[in-house]
Amino acid sequence: MNPTPTIPDGTPPFWRGRFSVAPMLDWTDRHCRYFHRLLSHNALLYTEMVTTGAILHGRGDYLAYNDEEHPLALQLGGSDPQALAQCAEIAEQRGYDEINLNVGCPSDRVQNGRFGACLMAEAELVADCVDAMRGRVRLPVTVKTRIGIDDQDSYDFLCAFIRTVAERGGCDTFIVHARKAWLSGLSPKENREIPPLDYPRVYQLKRDFPALTIAINGGIKTLEQAQQHLQHLDGVMVGREAYQNPGVLAQVDSQLFGVTAPVPDLFAVVEGMYPYIERELSRGAQLGHITRHMLGLFQGLPGARQWRRFLSENAHRPGADVSVVEQALTRVQRP
């Protein structure tokens, strides 16, 4: 397991969530996380949201991951304190580094299961969920939430939610998506784009709750923006930009964690994926399920379009193997 990173001059270690890649359903699977870890050793990675029902009653192994992915947080979806506590205990036994409760997803399917953003209206239940998990595990238990839901979007409402979950549930770390969520009328995609961002509200939250660890999420596209947020907050979570332009992760360790080692070479990162790809193919994986996470790696470089096209056209063909990636890489011009 990777230790919490330390700045080279020996100053106290950063909270490992100083920079994290957001949990994204259908995107941040274990193939994606392995790839991202080659780009940053210190970024905190999150699983896709996994429901308590899937873990306790599903037929598959929804907690599988690669040892190289640490530090790794499991995001849970659910609202039954005891089921969440049981899942947290299983996750601790499996070696996860953190448990995160989803109180931010606005999709209808999630609402129908009584979890996600709709739980902001039930702060005491969220507190009970966190308290139940903390009572069963020694891992950090964190909450990812929004700044409000529907017409419950005042700063007082947000403060009351945070205070209840912190004081009654014992949660000391919140990742706050700086948009409110509309629980009806907007799709999940629209909920990521239409409600306006309100970064100052999250900054104010940190000023009013200085003892809590507060990270921000939503609309962050560059590490320069991340550095600006870190002047006010403890952490930054980046979602779609990290996925669609993963090359940005190569700069995270040097720019945000003070690491003096050379920045990962993007071509070497691809070549570093070859043993993993061969191993996974030998276990029955399909090449396209791995390479789909790598399509945006060379964004802005000559040949990036040819790289994407070659992989998209060939990785899903029967018998596709690592040679497809090798051939795709020849389409990109080295700097």
Q: Which residues are annotated as a binding site?
A: 23-25, 75, 144, 177, 217-219, 239-240
Residue indicated by tokens 């007082």: 156
159 is catalytic: no
For residues 316 and 264, the answer to whether their CB atoms sit within 8 Å is no
Q: How many residues does the chain have?
A: 335
C-alpha count within 13 angstroms, C-beta hemisphere, residue 138: 2
Binding residues for FMN: 23-25, 75, 144, 177, 217-219, 239-240
DSSP letters spanning 281-316:
HHTT--HHHHHGGGTTTTTTSTTHHHHHHHHHHHTT
- Of 136, 118, 140, the closest CA to residue 74 belongs to 140
Torsion angle (degrees, nearest 10) of CA 168, 173, 175, 179? 40
End-to-end CA distance of the chain: give it in Å, rounded: 34
8-state DSSP, 66: -
For residues 228 and 210, the answer to whether their CB atoms sit within 8 Å is no
According to DSSP, the β-strands at 213-217 and 173-177 are parallel
> Which of 32, 87, 105, 118 does the annotation list as catalytic?
105
Q: Retrieve residue 127's tokens.
A: 């507190």
For residues 14 and 236, the answer to whether their CB atoms sit within 8 Å is no
Active site residue ranges:
105
